[in-house]
C-alpha cells in the first residue's frame, strides 16, 4: 500500500509529496538489522508497494478533466484492478490478525500472481507518462527485477511543475497560454487515440502471455468506450462531440456555411472536417485505400513497438489511430462528412438502416442510443462492418440528395448552356442590346443595366434559354483582371492564383492599363463574364473554385466569338462599301493591296472559326458527354466531386488555357486579329481616297499627288506589318500546337490538322 512501517521506510531521497516521484513509484529501504532470510523475502514482495504507489499516482493525475474521456475510462478500469488488489490485501490482513499460522512465506504465496499483474500495469503507466516526459525511464529501461528506480535519474522539471499544479487542483497554465498539440507536441499529454494505440500495441506484443494479453485487452475494451461512442455518433449522425480533442477528426469551427458564397478554395468541404494526422491539403484529397493501409498509416507505423516514435513524426493525442482503425480512417472521415452535410440541409438522419441482413450485435451498434452498461469491442469485424455500412449509407443518401432532390445534372446542363455558349441565340441577343452599355469605359459600365438586358434576353419565349428552370441563377458581372493575365497567374508565370481575392489595385491594373492603351470596345467585351448563384449543398459540387473554371472558359469563348463577329463585320463592310466593290483591275497596285486585305481577313476569320469550333465541339461537347456518362455511374460523393473537377481541368487543358507558351502566342494572334478588325474603317476610308486618286491620274503613279503617294505607301507598309505579324505567329502557333499534341496533349492533334489546313488553303 506504500505505507511506511517499523522495518521498511521511504528512501531518504524519495519525497512522497512530489507528484513526479510518486509517478515513478515509492522507493523503500529495509532495516539492515532484519534477518537476511526475511530481508530477501521482503525485497521480493516490496515491488508491490512501488507498483501500487506509481499506479495510484497515475490514476490520480490522469483523472483530471483535461486528460480526456479515454484517460478517464482507462483510470476507471485501472481502479477496478486496484480495488481487487486492495480487497486481497484486506483479506490477507484479516488472516494475519486471526491466524497464527499466517507467515510471510504464505503472504508471498498469495501475492505472487498479483505482483505480475501490478508489474504489467506499472509498465503501462510508466510508458504512457514517458511518452510526453522522456526523462522518465520507460518500462523497457527498467530492470524488471529491481523495484527501486535509480535515485540519480534526471527529473523532468516541466512535467514536475505540471503535476504539482494538478496536485493543487489548478489547471495547466500551458492550456491557458494556448499551448496546443500543433505548437508544443513534445509536452502534450497522452490522450485519446494515442492511449488506445499504446494499449493495442501491448495487446499485440503480449499474445504469448495470457495474463498480460487478458489485462491489456480488458483495459483496451473499457478505455475505448468513449472513443467508440464518439466514432459511432460521428459516422451515424455527423455530430462531432470531442471536447478534449481525442478523436481522429478535427473540426474548424471558424468555417461555416456562410463562407461558401466567397469560398474560392473549397474550404468548407476540404477544411471544415479533416484528419488530425494530416495537413488540410492532404486530408482534402484523401482517397479510399482499404483493405490496405494508407500511405500515412504505413509511415506512422514503426517496428520498435513503442509509441515515442509517433511523436517524432509529429503525431500525438487524437491524431494517433489504433492500428486496427488505420485502414478505416478515410471512411470514418467521409461517412461523418456526408451525414453532416445531410444534417446541414435539414434532412433527418436516423443512423443506418440495419434491417438488411446484419447480426444482432451490429444492429445494436447502429442504434444512436448506446447502453452505457454494454461494452463495444472496436477491434472486431462487427465494428468494422458498422463503419463500412455507415459510409455506404451516408454516401448513398447524400449522392441521392445531390442527383435527385437537387437535380445536379440539370444544374450542370444549365451551366453548360450559359457558360459554354451552347445555346448562343439568347446571348447574341443580349450582346446586341448591351452594345451601347459595353461601349462605355469600363468604370462607367452599369452592371445592373446589363443584368436587366440579360434577363430580358434569356426570358424571351423565342429563346432556347427560356425553358431553363435555373436561368434566374445566372448573373452578369464585369471582371477586373484581363483573361490572359489571370490565366498566366494560374499557370504560375506571374504568380499563383489567389482565388480572386487580390488587392483592388492589382485586380484593376489589367483592364485599366489595357483600356488606357487601346480604349476600344473589345476591352469591355473581354471584361464581361457570367456568375452563378448556387445554394448549399450544391455549392459543394458547384463551388466557387469550379465556377471560376467555368468563367475562364466562358471568357475565352466570348473573346473568340467577339473576334469572329468583328472580322465578319469587316467582311460585311467590304461587301457593302463602294470603295471595295468598285473595279480597280486597271490599277494593279491598288487591286493587289485590296486583295491582300481580303486574303488576310479571310485567313484570320478561318483561324478564329477553326479554333472556336474545335473548342466547342472537339473539347467541351465531347468531354461533357463523357462527364454525363461518368456521373450516371458514380457511386461516391467524392467520386462525383472528382469527376466534375477533372472534367473542368481537362477542358481547360485541351482549350490550351493551362500552357503559358500557348497562351502567350495565342494572345499575340488574337491581338493581331483584333487590331486588324479595328482598322477596317481606316482601310475603307483609305480605299476611297486611293480609288479617287487613281481615277484622277488615270493610273499614272507620277500624276498622283505626293501626299496621296505617301498615304498609299504607309497603307501598304501597315498591311505588310499585319501580314508579317499574323503569318509569323500563326506558323509558330501551329508548330507549338503540333508539338504539344505529340508530347503531352493528344487532344490538340485535331486542332493542329485544322490550322494546318487553314494555312495551306489561304
Q: pLDDT tens digit string along 597-608?
A: 888 989 999 999
Instruction: State the Cα–Cα distance between residues 332 and 318, nearest whole angstrom.
Output: 14
Determine contact, residues 462/428, Cβ cutoff 8 Å.
no
Distance CA 609, CA 614 (A): 8
pLDDT score recorded for residue 622: 95
543: left (phi over 0), alpha (psi -120 to 50) or beta: beta
pLDDT value of residue 427: 85
Question: Of the candidates 674, 697, 678, 681, which has an alpha carbon nearest to the alpha carbon of residue 577?
Answer: 681
Whole-angstrom distance, CA of residue 661 vs CA of residue 549: 20
Distance CA 683, CA 705 (A): 19
What is the predicted pLDDT for the residue at 596? Answer: 85
Q: What is the pLDDT of residue 176?
A: 35
Structure confidence at residue 5 (pLDDT): 62
Task: Out of 144-158, 371-385, 517-531, 702-716, give the one with best mean pLDDT.
Answer: 371-385
How much is the average pLDDT of 719-729?
91
Q: What is the mean pLDDT of residues 129-133?
A: 81
Cβ contact 28:8 at 8 Å: yes
Residues 6+ apart with CB under 8 A from 171: 66, 165
Supply the pLDDT for residue 111. 80
Say how far apart CA 328 and CA 345 lie, in whole Å. Answer: 26
Lowest mean pLDDT among 227-236, 559-568, 691-700: 691-700
Cβ proximity of 601 and 574 under 8 Å? yes
Say if residue 4's pLDDT is above 70.
no
Q: Are 715 and 596 in contact (CB under 8 A)?
A: no
Q: How far apart are the C-alpha atoms of 635 and 400, rounded to whole Å?
A: 10
**What local confidence, expressed as pLDDT, does residue 689 receive?**
74
Asked if residue 384 has pLDDT above 70, the reply is: yes
pLDDT number for residue 468 = 87
Give 435 or 761, the one with higher predicted confidence: 435
The C-alpha cell that represents 261 in the structure block: 458564397
Taking CA 755 as the corner, what is the angle to CA 753 and CA 759, rounded to the nearest 5 degrees? 115
- pLDDT (mean) for 176-202: 70
pLDDT exceeds cutoff 70 at 713: yes
Average pLDDT rounded to a whole number, residues 188-202: 90
Q: Which range, of 45-54, 114-123, 371-380, averages the lowest pLDDT?
A: 371-380
| Ramachandran sector of residue 302 (left: φ over 0; alpha: ψ -120 to 50; beta: rest) | beta
pLDDT at site 739: 93
**CB count in 10 Å sphere of residue 608:** 25
Report which of 546, 503, 551, 506 is spatially closest to residue 527, judged by C-alpha positions. 551
pLDDT of residue 253: 83
Q: Is the pLDDT of residue 283 over 60?
A: no
Among 542, 546, 540, which residue's Cα sits nearest to residue 499? Answer: 546
In the predicted structure, residue 170 carries a pLDDT above the cut 70:
no
pLDDT at residue 161, as a whole number: 44
- Domain at 409-761: CATH architecture: Up-down Bundle (1.20)
Phi-psi region for residue 495, left (φ > 0), alpha (ψ -120 to 50) or beta? left
Least confident of 13-17, 28-32, 316-320, 499-503: 499-503
CA distances from 43 to 7, 11, 38 (A): 12, 14, 9
| pLDDT, position 259 | 62
Give the CA distances from residue 427 to residues 431, 446, 482, 726, in Å, rounded to whole numbers and listed in that order: 6, 18, 21, 29
Residue 580 has pLDDT above 50, yes or no: yes
Instruction: Yes or no: say if 19 and 166 are a contact pair by the CB < 8 Å rule.
Output: yes
Task: Name the more confident of 709 and 54.
Answer: 54
Identify the band that residue 3 occupies on the pLDDT scale cut at 50, 70 and 90.
Answer: low
How far apart, in whole angstroms, are the C-alpha atoms of residue 692 and residue 128?
A: 101
How far apart, in whole angstroms, are the C-alpha atoms of residue 357 and residue 570?
73
Taking the chain, what is the end-to-end CA distance rounded to the nearest angstrom? 103
Predicted local distance difference test score (pLDDT) of residue 359: 43
511 CB-side CA count, 13 A: 22
Residue 477 β-bridge partners:
529
Is 385's pLDDT higher than 70?
yes
Lowest mean pLDDT among 198-202, 612-616, 704-708: 704-708
Does position 169 have pLDDT exceeding 80, yes or no?
Answer: no
Mean residue pLDDT of the chain comes to 77
pLDDT of residue 584: 63
**Cα–Cα dist 569/563, whole Å:** 10
Question: Would you say 121 and 51 are in contact if contact means Cβ atoms under 8 Å apart?
Answer: yes
Cβ-contact 228, 378 below 8 angstroms: yes
- With a CB cutoff of 8 Å and minimum separation 6, the contacts of 538 are 402, 406, 408, 411
Most confident option among 476-485, 562-571, 648-657: 648-657
More confident residue, 179 or 337: 337
Domain ranges for the chain: 8-189, 198-405, 409-761
User: Mean of the pLDDT values across residues 120-127?
Assistant: 91
pLDDT tops 90 at residue 138:
no
The three-state secondary structure class of 220 is: helix
- Residues in Cβ contact with 223 at an 8 Å cutoff, skipping those fewer than 6 apart: 70, 71, 73, 74, 77, 195, 196, 199
Contact 104, 42 (CB under 8 A): yes
Query: Is the backbone peptide bond immediately before 217 cis, with ω within 30 degrees of 0?
Result: no
CB 331 within 8 A of CB 388: yes
Q: Is pLDDT at 298 greater than 50 in this prediction?
A: no
Give just the sign of the alpha carbon dihedral 437, 440, 443, 444: negative
Q: Exposed, middle or buried: residue 626 (CB in 10 Å: 0-12, 13-18, 19+)?
A: middle
Q: Residue 692: its pLDDT value, please?
A: 65
* Residue 182: predicted pLDDT: 44
Which of 108-112, 595-599, 618-622, 661-665 bottoms out in mean pLDDT, i.e. has the lowest? 108-112
- Between 36-45, 53-62, 245-254, 352-361, the lowest mean confidence (pLDDT) is in 352-361
pTM metric for this prediction: 0.76
Amino acid at each position: 500500500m506504500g505505507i511506511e512501517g517499523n522495518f521498511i521506510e521511504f528512501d531518504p531521497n524519495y519525497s512522497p509529496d512530489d507528484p513526479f516521484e510518486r509517478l515513478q513509484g515509492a522507493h523503500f529501504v529495509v532495516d539492515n538489522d532484519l534477518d537476511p532470510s526475511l530481508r530477501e523475502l521482503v525485497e521480493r514482495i516490496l515491488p508491490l508497494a512501488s507498483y501500487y504507489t506509481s499506479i495510484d499516482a497515475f490514476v490520480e493525475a490522469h483523472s483530471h478533466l483535461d486528460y480526456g474521456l479515454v484517460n478517464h475510462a482507462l483510470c476507471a478500469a485501472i481502479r477496478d484492478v486496484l480495488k481487487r488488489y486492495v480487497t486481497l490485501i484486506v483479506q490477507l490482513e484479516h488472516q494475519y490478525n486471526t491466524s497464527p499460522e499466517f507467515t510471510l512465506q504464505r503472504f508471498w504465496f498469495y501475492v505472487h500472481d498479483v505482483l505480475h499483474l501490478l508489474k504489467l500495469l506499472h509498465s503501462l503507466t510508466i510508458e504512457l507518462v514517458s511518452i510526453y516526459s522522456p526523462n522518465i525511464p520507460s518500462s523497457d529501461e527498467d530492470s524488471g527485477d529491481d523495484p527501486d528506480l535509480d535515485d540519480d535519474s534526471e527529473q523532468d522539471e516541466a512535467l514536475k511543475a505540471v503535476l504539482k499544479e494538478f496536485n493543487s487542483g489548478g489547471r495547466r497554465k500551458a492550456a491557458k497560454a494556448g499551448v496546443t498539440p500543433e505548437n508544443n507536441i513534445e509536452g502534450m499529454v497522452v490522450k485519446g487515440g494515442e492511449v488506445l494505440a499504446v494499449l493495442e500495441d501491448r495487446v499485440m506484443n503480449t499474445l504469448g502471455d495470457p495474463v498480460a494479453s487478458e489485462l491489456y485487452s480488458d483495459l483496451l475494451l473499457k478505455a475505448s468506450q468513449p472513443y467508440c461512442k464518439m466514432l459511432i455518433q460521428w459516422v451515424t449522425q455527423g455530430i462531432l462531440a470531442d471536447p478534449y480533442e481525442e478523436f481522429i477528426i478535427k473540426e474548424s469551427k471558424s468555417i461555416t456555411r456562410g463562407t461558401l458564397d466567397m469560398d474560392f478554395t473549397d474550404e468548407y468541404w476540404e477544411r471544415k472536417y479533416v484528419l488530425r494526422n494530416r495537413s488540410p491539403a492532404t486530408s482534402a484529397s484523401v482517397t479510399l485505400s482499404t483493405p490496405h493501409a494508407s500511405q500515412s498509416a504505413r509511415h506512422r507505423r514503426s517496428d520498435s513497438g513503442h509509441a515515442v516514435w509517433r511523436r517524432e513524426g509529429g503525431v500525438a493525442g487524437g491524431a494517433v489511430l489504433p492500428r486496427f482503425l488505420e485502414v478505416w480512417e478515410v471512411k470514418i472521415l467521409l461517412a461523418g462528412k456526408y451525414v453532416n452535410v445531410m444534417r446541414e440541409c435539414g434532412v433527418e438522419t436516423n443512423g443506418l438502416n440495419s434491417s438488411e441482413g446484419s447480426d444482432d450485435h451490429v444492429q445494436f451498434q447502429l442504434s444512436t442510443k448506446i447502453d452505457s452498461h454494454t461494452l463495444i469491442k472496436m477491434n472486431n469485424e462487427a465494428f468494422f462492418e458498422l463503419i463500412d455500412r455507415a459510409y455506404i449509407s451516408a454516401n448513398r443518401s447524400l449522392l441521392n440528395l445531390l442527383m435527385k432532390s437537387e437535380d445536379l445534372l440539370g444544374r450542370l446542363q444549365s451551366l453548360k448552356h450559359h457558360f459554354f455558349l451552347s445555346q448562343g441565340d439568347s446571348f447574341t441577343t443580349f450582346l446586341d442590346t448591351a452594345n451601347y452599355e459595353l461601349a462605355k469605359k469600363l468604370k462607367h459600365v452599369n452592371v445592373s443595366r446589363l443584368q436587366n438586358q440579360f434577363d430580358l434576353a434569356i426570358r424571351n419565349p423565342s429563346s432556347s434559354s427560356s425553358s431553363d428552370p435555373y436561368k434566374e441563377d445566372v448573373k452578369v458581372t464585369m471582371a477586373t483582371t484581363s483573361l490572359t493575365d489571370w490565366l498566366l497567374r494560374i499557370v504560375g508565370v506571374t504568380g499563383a492564383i489567389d482565388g480572386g481575392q487580390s488587392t483592388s489595385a492589382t485586380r484593376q491594373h489589367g483592364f485599366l492599363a489595357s483600356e488606357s492603351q487601346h480604349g476600344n470596345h473589345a476591352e469591355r467585351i473581354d471584361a464581361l463574364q457570367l456568375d452563378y448563384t448556387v445554394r448549399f449543398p450544391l455549392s459543394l459540387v458547384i463551388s466557387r473554385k469550379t465556377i471560376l473554371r467555368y468563367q475562364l472558359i466562358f471568357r475565352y469563348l466570348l473573346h473568340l466569338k467577339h473576334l469572329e463577329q468583328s472580322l465578319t463585320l469587316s467582311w460585311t463592310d467590304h461587301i457593302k462599301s463602294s470603295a471595295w466593290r468598285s473595279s480597280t483591275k486597271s490599277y494593279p497596285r491598288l487591286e493587289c493591296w485590296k486583295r491582300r486585305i481580303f486574303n488576310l481577313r479571310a485567313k484570320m476569320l478561318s483561324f478564329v472559326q477553326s479554333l472556336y469550333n474545335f473548342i466547342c465541339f472537339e473539347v467541351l461537347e465531347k468531354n461533357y458527354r463523357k462527364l454525363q456518362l461518368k456521373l450516371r455511374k458514380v457511386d461516391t460523393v467524392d467520386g462525383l466531386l472528382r469527376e466534375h473537377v477533372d472534367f473542368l481541368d481537362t477542358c481547360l487543358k485541351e482549350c490550351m488555357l493551362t500552357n503559358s507558351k500557348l497562351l502567350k502566342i495565342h494572345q499575340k494572334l488574337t491581338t493581331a486579329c483584333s487590331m486588324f478588325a479595328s482598322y477596317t474603317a481606316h482601310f475603307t476610308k483609305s480605299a476611297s481616297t486611293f480609288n479617287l486618286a487613281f481615277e484622277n491620274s488615270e493610273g499614272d503613279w507620277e500624276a498622283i499627288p505626293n501626299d496621296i503617294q505617301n498615304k498609299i505607301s504607309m497603307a501598304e507598309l501597315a498591311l505588310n506589318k499585319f501580314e508579317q505579324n499574323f503569318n509569323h505567329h500563326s506558323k509558330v502557333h501551329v508548330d507549338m500546337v503540333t508539338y504539344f499534341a505529340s508530347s503531352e496533349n493528344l487532344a490538340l492533334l485535331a486542332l493542329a490538322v485544322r490550322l494546318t489546313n487553314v494555312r495551306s488553303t489561304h
